[in-house]
Amino acid sequence: MSRKRDIGRQRAYRAEGEVFGGHWYEAKCRSPLIGEQEAIEMHKRVSDFFIRRHGIKRRPPPLRFSDTARGSYHSTLEGCVYRRDMLRECVVLHEVAHWAAGYEDAAHGPKWQRMYAEAIAEFAGADLAAEFLRLCQELPIMQYSSRPKRKFRLEEWDKVNERWIPSSVARKSIPNWQRLQMWRGRVQWVGPRMLRMIEE
């Protein structure tokens, strides 16, 4: 089942930052840092809370810890993935709320906001939960640009004729980081070929 576009994500993150005095990656965040064992125990308590409150029949989400993830996240395949150096109580509440909200609504839509607010009220305080919901209603949604998508063509250097020619290399075969560099205007060697992207 496809999920709705997550247009409320930035608004939810801003509301979360306001409620806890800073985002989970900022030292000023008032939600305390916790260790792995504390996170495991809290993950179970929050999951059990949602199961009791809403009669959820699904298994509680699995969890694991990472040192390399860009941040903590929840996915249908991996469950809750927590980044060790940014592990806070609010992060556990946030990610388990994604599991409790299910997958029909947008990831940070109204249903997730309600679930997260319930968890905040239970484990952090009703006042913070009410403030979070208020901010989710009042903060503006970021507007996405309506400008047309930029189009690029892939070229490779012809060493015999010393000129750029259209490339037959499949874009999907090029590693993402090299495509990003070419998109930024940098030439990249992919195997024996020198490639670049040109905006059409």
Write down the domain spans for the chain. Answer: 9-138, 152-199
Phi and psi at residue 116, to the nearest 5°: -65, -40
- Rounded mean pLDDT of the chain? 87
Lowest mean pLDDT among 105-119, 122-136, 173-187: 173-187
Cα gap 159→71, rounded to integer Å: 43
- The answer to whether the beta carbons of residues 115 and 100 sit under 8 Å apart is yes
Residue 106, pLDDT above cutoff 70: no
Reported residue count of the chain is 200
- The answer to whether the beta carbons of residues 12 and 135 sit under 8 Å apart is no
Cα gap 56→155, rounded to integer Å: 53
pLDDT at 190: 87
How buried is 9 (Cβ within 10 angstroms: 0-12 exposed, 13-18 middle, 19+ buried)? middle
Cα gap 78→81, rounded to integer Å: 7
pLDDT band at 78 (very low <50, low <70, confident <90, very high): confident
pLDDT band at 54 (very low <50, low <70, confident <90, very high): very high
With pLDDT > 90 as the criterion, what percentage of the chain qualifies? 44
Fold topology of 9-138:
Zincin-like (3.30.2010)
pTM greater than 0.75 (yes/no) = no
pLDDT at 2: 47
The residues that bridge with 9 in the sheet, in sequence order, are none
pLDDT tens profile 3-51: 566 767 888 899 999 999 988 878 888 998 999 999 999 999 999 999 9
Residue 143, pLDDT above cutoff 60: no
Q: Collapsing DSSP states into helix, strand and coil, what is residue 73?
A: strand
Task: Say what the alpha-carbon torsion angle 116, 119, 124, 130 is, to the nearest 10 degrees.
Answer: 50
- The answer to whether the beta carbons of residues 21 and 28 sit under 8 Å apart is yes
Cα gap 9→109, rounded to integer Å: 8
